[in-house]
Amino acid sequence: MSRELVIDADGHILEPPDTWMRYIEPQYRSRAMRIVRGADGREYLEIDGKPSTLVPPAFLASLGGMKRLNELGDEGIREFNQRRRQSVIKQSSQPAFDRGLGEDATYLNGAGFGTMDPRERLELLDHEKIDKAILYPTLGLVWGAHLSDVDLANAYARAYNRWIADFCRDSGGRLIAVAHLVLADPEAAVRELERAIKDGCKGAWVYCYTMNRKSHGHPDHDPVFAAAQDLDVPLALHPSLDNPALSLHHRFDDMNWSDWYFNASGISAVQMALASLFAYGVFDRFPRLKLVVLESSAGWIGSWLDWTDALYRGTTAGGSVRLKEKPSYYFRRQCFISADPFERCVAPLTRIVGEDKFFWASDYPHSNHPATYMEDLKGLVDGMDDHARRAILGENAARVYRLT
């Protein structure tokens, strides 16, 4: 595997606690996101001058949690989870993230190797025989759930984009920056996309919900799709912490205690965002747009395309889709999806959906994915022919993001 091009299509960094203080425009500095130590001695996340009610201290400390998974090992994880299950049973009304991490847990203590220092990240890539890593945020996945001020959201996104470009700048092209865009202001998103690409970013990503409640495929967002198409850069859908008022996960009032439930059902938000792009005919209007689906596994895409094609061809529901062709036609032409290394049903899908449609991704250092991703990766590609193996390991990502 080491002789083949290997690209992690969705790794993460942990932004240093002062990132927004240093990189946001001066007029927004007093409202910059930061990590603060409260009167009780515990850290909390402050967004727009207010403590986050969605990110408790233990959750904040767990964001680099793959480090802890490495330290625990298989047996330690089993024991930890057994203790945690008993705690959940006894205290099911409390959020699970508030238990089990220890009183000394902090954001910085939980940060894994290579999450804040680009030189360390390159050392990690060398150790794991990974050629390149396409990088996404961590705190950047949570702040959107707190904001209704679109101008401030854009300022937060711009600050992160400047920082991640600097983080990747001197890596010899091995660390790949991707810009965060806010769809609620399409004109501002276009300006930021153009600026960020000039600054070294290789693509852009958006949340799987929108601040203005307009679906991703809505024609108001056409300027963003047009800009990504003209710049020949991919646009990615990446899961995030959702605003509770906009979240699919909050249709029940009794599930706040289970972070497993939130992770297991997170795929739904990605699917709805993707479906809206088909429903509005985005891929007919923008035939060169490249759309990437991240961190939602990949095995479902085969059955989902079968289902959406059947609806399009053989039911009256197909009349409500603004497409000239069935959905799978456009997915094969313009879309890509990342697979988790532990998946074992992707090999046959490469022959059905297309060998050029799949990436692999580690999600390092987040604890909702196993720390054994390099070992698991061998199983992901088991059964693939040489072409499909090379494609998913790195050649597809290199082509889509133009990583030459």
> What does the pLDDT average to over 19-31?
98
Residue 154 has pLDDT above 80, yes or no: yes
Q: What pTM was estimated for this model as a whole? A: 0.92
Q: What pLDDT sits at residue 43?
A: 93
Contact 214, 274 (CB under 8 A): no
pLDDT at 97: 46
Give the C-alpha separation, 72 to 78, whole Å: 9
Query: Can you give the pLDDT at residue 102?
Result: 52
H or E element that contains 23:
helix 19-23
Reply yes or no on whether the pLDDT at 139 is more than 60. yes
What's the CA gap between 62 and 81, in Å, rounded? 15
Work out the percent of the chain whose per-residue pLDDT is above 70: 92
Amino acid at 374: M
Mean pLDDT, the chain, whole residue set: 91
pLDDT at 235: 98
Would you call 208 exposed, middle or buried from its count of C-beta atoms within 10 A (0-12, 13-18, 19+)? buried
Owner of token pair 């996945």 = 141
Is the pLDDT assigned to residue 200 strictly greater than 50? yes
Average of per-residue pLDDT across 298-311: 96
pLDDT class for 245, splitting at 50, 70, 90? confident
Choice between 28 and 243, residue whose per-residue pLDDT is larger: 28
Q: What is the pLDDT of residues 4-21, one digit of tens each?
A: 999 999 999 999 999 999
Average pLDDT over residues 273-289: 97
Place of tokens 């024609």: 219
Residue-wise pLDDT tens digits, 39-92: 888 899 999 999 999 998 888 988 998 877 777 677 776 776 677 676 666 665
Residue 99's pLDDT is what? 42
Q: What's the pLDDT band for 355 if we cut at 50, 70, 90?
A: very high
Higher pLDDT, 256 or 184: 184
Domains in the chain, ordered, with CATH?
7-27+112-400 (3.20.20.140)
Name the residue with higher pLDDT: 299 or 369: 299
Q: How far apart are the C-alpha atoms of 202 and 222, rounded to whole Å? A: 20
Q: pLDDT grade, residue 32 (50/70/90)?
A: very high
- What pLDDT does residue 258 have? 76
End-to-end CA distance of the chain: 20
3-class secondary-structure state, position 303: helix
Averaged pLDDT for residues 244-263: 75
Helices marked H in 232-355: 259-264, 267-279, 282-285, 300-314, 327-334, 346-352
pLDDT tens digits, 86-133:
666 666 554 444 444 455 679 999 899 999 999 999 999 999 999 999
Q: What is the pLDDT of residues 359-372, one digit of tens each?
A: 999 999 998 888 89
